[in-house]
Amino acid sequence: MEEKPSGLLVLYASQTGNAMDAAERVGREAERGGCPSVTVLSMDRFDASRLPDEKTVIFVVSTTGQGDAPDSMKAFWRFLLQRNLNNRWLEDLHYAVFGLGDSGYQKYNFSAKKLDKRLSDLGAKSIIKKGLGDDQHHSGYEGAFDPWLSSLWNMLNHMNPTILPRVSDISNSHMKTLDHSKFQVIYHNADEVEVHVSTISDLKSTEKMIESTRSMSPALCFCDDNKPHHFLRMITNQHLTKVDYGRDVRHFEFEALSPGMDYQVGDVVEILPSQDPIAVDAFIQHCNLDQDCYITVQPRDNEKQSIDSHVKSLMHPVKLKDFVALTMDVASASPRRYFFEVMSFYATAEHEKERLQYFASPEGRDDLYQYNQKERRTVLEVLEDFPSVQMPFEWLVQMVPPLKTRAFSISSSPSAHPNQVHLTVSIVSWITPFKRKRHGLCSSWLAGLDPFESKGVYIPAWIRRGALPPPPPSLPLILIGPGTGCAPFRAFVEERALQNVTVSTSPVVFFFGCRNQENDFLYKNFWLSHAQDYGVLSKEKGGGFFVAFSRDQPQKVYVQHKMKEERKRIWSLLSAGAAIYIAGSSIKMPADVTSTLEEIVSEASGISKESAARWLRQLEKAGRFYIEAWS
């Protein structure tokens, strides 16, 4: 009897949307190749206990932070780690894993590597070697994804010709067709929806409008919490670096507009930035949309099961302009590759159609990366570059990158500043290869707010647990935070200074680094005040404050050099049970600092550096070694 062609399940775990985008491409190509049944799901929408019932599963997973799994993968991963699952549990499953990561981080693609090993341990059979996408590659993760996906289809065909898809169909550009968008936009007459829309200009109605609008967004509707926890008002906007210095770092202070803001040191605040209204208007006008009409966005029939009842209950009509402004990042994020493929179907000028098709092809991948990601072309700029394209709003809703919240480490103690939150923010700007100046959306928007003139600007904010748990007063601390990495440690020191008034506290050593003593010595007076007169960072208390000015002498000096100078102090604290906290840029600093710690432990204890690395890993497992890094 001829074997029935197998269906394909694609499971993804995404934090920023890239893994979801890659997984959906796997699904599209499988359907194009004639696969009779293709299902693409986020891992948190799949019952892991059903995995043995599947024959072929493709996993696409990203790695966040310091080797962390995305939120949508955590429950799935916990299930796979159950001890009652034996090495034959998945013996009938064929699988492939592709990971998205950044080799600038120490635990590069850790989630994909762990998942691949665990599936193998449970008896599943790997179709091909795991693929590892790297953000550092000149074409981004697609530099590895394109050849990996091609190999996957070839291997599936080779294993069993009845297992679709057919590679010849996937690679045939003439067979490319455009299906319906996954979501539909329903337009409402303003008169019909007035009863549903609050005209009261207060925080409650604004909160409901934000929650309803973002819960309708295809990319944001799966978020657990679209309702802001708080609305903040800026009360301080202060330069921490010299005004004429090349880098701009600010100290921001906000107060909650209603009492009861609750957080702990080490937490982060996520802020929803405002987009430039001129850019929003330009996008709406370019797309020939009516900004004043009311809309609801709903999944098409085959997608309805993926939206839970709670989200559906929030889908009240909203103004189109509000939907664009609050959910669609039209003027700072770059569109993904599939955006260009969809555009090609709507281009009426032949030369534009050909260029878009080339950009969407494997041959045009590198040129697209240079045009799009390297230049950080925005959706609005791309649409303006291809004026003959008029994409339906349904496709724009699905394809435009979502307007994401931006996360910042909190640099204040809630005990010292009740109902306030302080942030230490680098105002992001850079020059593209074509010499165009670009600005970070959120940081530039915050920098442009004047506390005295923006009292009506209410900033939506969410408090989240950070990667640095609050230490008890009795725990000795070794803190390493160059640049804006000092932010959470300002909160730690503030908190411990208050604790020191009522209880006995353990020593704190802090290593800070910046370029110049005169230009970017962030919070100089704050640190120095706590480093004297029996303060938290004073040597009299067994602590210390050590600064590396990397550019104030011919030879560059970084925090790891200062750590080597204080190796005896560090080892003494570690021997007394100290915890290590590291915060700052992910590019090289965490790896360099960790390597220095390994040297110090190796030298002081007389063991090899490899053994010292294992010792530090044990420290991490014991909850005494934490890293919070960002790119």
The answer to the question of whether 140 is labelled as a binding residue is no
Measured in Å, how far apart are the chain's first and last C-alpha atoms?
55
**15 marked as part of a ligand binding site:** yes
Rounded distance between C-alpha atoms, residue 624 and residue 617, angstroms: 10
184 is in an annotated binding site: no
Interatomic CA distance for residues 232 and 301, integer angstroms: 39
User: Is the CB of residue 415 less than 8 Å from the CB of residue 281?
Assistant: no
- The H or E element that residue 510 is part of is strand 508-514
Question: Is residue 109 a known part of a binding site?
Answer: no
Is 313 known to sit in a ligand binding site? no
- Cα 62 to chain centroid distance, Å, stands at 10
- Confirm whether residue 559 is marked as ligand binding: yes
378 labeled binding residue: no
Is residue 63 part of an annotated ligand binding site? yes
441 labeled part of a ligand binding site: yes
Q: Is 556 annotated as a binding residue?
A: yes
Is 125 annotated as a binding-site member? Answer: no
Distance CA 426, CA 423 (A): 10
Give Cα 173 distance to the centre of its chain.
Answer: 33
* 550 annotated as a binding-site residue: yes
Q: 363 near 183, Cβ under 8 Å?
A: no
Q: What angle do CA 142, 145, 147 make, to 5 degrees?
A: 115
Q: Among 43, 46, 163, 161, which Cα is nearest to 97's?
A: 43
Annotated ligand binding at 305? The verdict is: no
The response to whether 456 counts as a known ligand-binding position is no
Ligand-binding annotation for 557, yes or no, is yes
592 belongs to an annotated ligand binding site: yes
Residue 603 CB: number of other CB atoms within 10 A?
Answer: 15
Consult the annotation and say whether 177 binds a ligand: no
What are the residues facing 409 on neighbouring strands? 268
Using CA atoms, how far residue 63 sits from 23, 74, 137, 193, 417, in Å, is 15, 12, 16, 43, 34
Query: Is 486 annotated as belonging to a binding site?
Result: no
**From CA 584, how far away is CA 481, in angstroms rounded?**
6
Q: Return the number of other C-beta atoms located less than 10 Å from residue 28's C-beta.
A: 17
17 appears as a binding residue in the annotation: yes
How far is residue 351's CA from residue 348's CA, in Å, rounded to a whole number?
Answer: 9
Residue 334 labeled ligand binder: no
The C-alpha atoms of residue 404 and residue 73 are separated, in whole angstroms, by 20
558 is in an annotated binding site: yes
Q: Is 484 annotated as a binding residue?
A: yes
- 146 annotated as belonging to a binding site for a ligand: no
User: In one letter, which amino acid is 611?
Assistant: S
Is 38 within any annotated ligand binding site? Answer: no
Copy the structure tokens of residue 207: 């909160």
630 is in an annotated binding site: yes
Where is the binding site for FMN, in residues?
A: 14-19, 62-65, 135
Where is the binding site for NADP(+), in residues?
A: 484, 550-551, 556-560, 592
Where is the binding site for FAD, in residues?
A: 376, 406-409, 440-443, 630
Where is the binding site, in residues?
A: 14-19, 62-65, 135, 376, 406-409, 440-443, 484, 550-551, 556-560, 592, 630
